[in-house]
Amino acid sequence: MTTRMIDVGSAEGPVQPDLSALAEQLVATARTRGVELTGPGGLLTGLTRQVLETALGTELGEHLGHERGERSGSGNVRNGSSQKTVRTDVGEVRINVPRDRAGSFAPTVVPKHSRRLTGFDDAVLSLYAKGMTTGDIANHLADIYGSEVSRDLVSRVTDAVIEDMQQWQSRPLDRVYPVVFVDALMVQIRVLAHIP
């Protein structure tokens, strides 16, 4: 597989890259090699892992103030990586999270102690707000993510924002809410003959 450089900036400002040709090439290569598009060893999982690891490496470079292989004036340097499994919209992805020697690196792409990216929490809260039980949510998410999601995990996610939800529910209401009802009655009339 060949690698192409994509220009994402110009003198006028950032330009949205056209990734359709690259996506077609990746899908075609995956099919010829027998690689699944989804699933644990699939193309989407691999791409997600690569994007997350690249973003984490860039974040660490900005935190340290120098890139890999450059000398550091502060004495804080890269110190290997640790593996972490995160749940994403494409399923579980095992990534290598880079570390620094001082232990002061706190990534924002995949925060410390976080095992889920934000899409998971948003999905749980949306389903909970629609009145689904924790068991229904767990079953639904197991269908989506392809892995078992416990009721306890769903409860922990909803408990994390229950205070905000209760505050929203007990907010003071306005005295007047203007509402307009638009209604129509359609009557079909036949004109059979014209009488003079």
DSSP for the chain, written as a single string: --------EETTEE-----HHHHHHHHHHHHHHT--SSSTTSHHHHHHHHHHHHHHHHHHHHHHTS-TTS--SSS--EEEEEEEEEEETTEEEEEEEEEETTS----SSS-TT--B-HHHHHHHHHHHHTT--HHHHHHHHHHHHSS---HHHHHHHHHHTHHHHHHHHTPPPPS---------------------
Q: Tell me which of 33 and 125 has the higher pLDDT.
A: 33
User: 121: closest CA among 98, 103, 145?
Assistant: 145
Q: What is the average pLDDT value for the chain, to the nearest integer?
A: 76
For residue range 14-44, what is the model confidence (pLDDT) as tens digits? 555 566 777 788 788 888 888 887 777 787 7
Place 3 in a pLDDT band, splitting at 50, 70 and 90: very low
Tokens 């060893």: give the residue. Answer: 41
Give dist(CA 118, CA 86) in Å, integer: 11
Average pLDDT over residues 163-175: 76
Using CA atoms, how far apart are residues 160 and 134, in angstroms rounded to an integer? 14
| % of the chain exceeding 90 in pLDDT | 4
Query: How many CB atoms sit inside 10 A of residue 138's CB?
Result: 20
Q: Which of 17, 82, 30, 89 is nearest to 53 (CA)?
A: 82
43 close to 27: Cβ distance less than 8 angstroms = yes
Q: Supply the pLDDT for residue 164.
A: 65
pTM of the model: 0.55
pLDDT value at position 7?
Answer: 46
How does residue 4 score in pLDDT terms, banded at 50, 70 and 90? very low
Q: For residue 1, what pLDDT is reported?
A: 42
More confident residue, 53 or 153: 53
Within a 10 A sphere around the Cβ of 45, how many other Cβ atoms? 20
Among 119-123, 167-171, 174-178, whose mean pLDDT is lowest?
119-123
Look at the block and give the residue holding tokens 């090699």: 33
Residue with the bigger pLDDT between 123 and 115: it is: 115
> Is pLDDT above 80 for 116?
no
Q: What is the pLDDT of residue 97?
A: 92
Which segment of 10-14, 78-82, 139-143, 145-149 scores lowest on mean pLDDT? 10-14
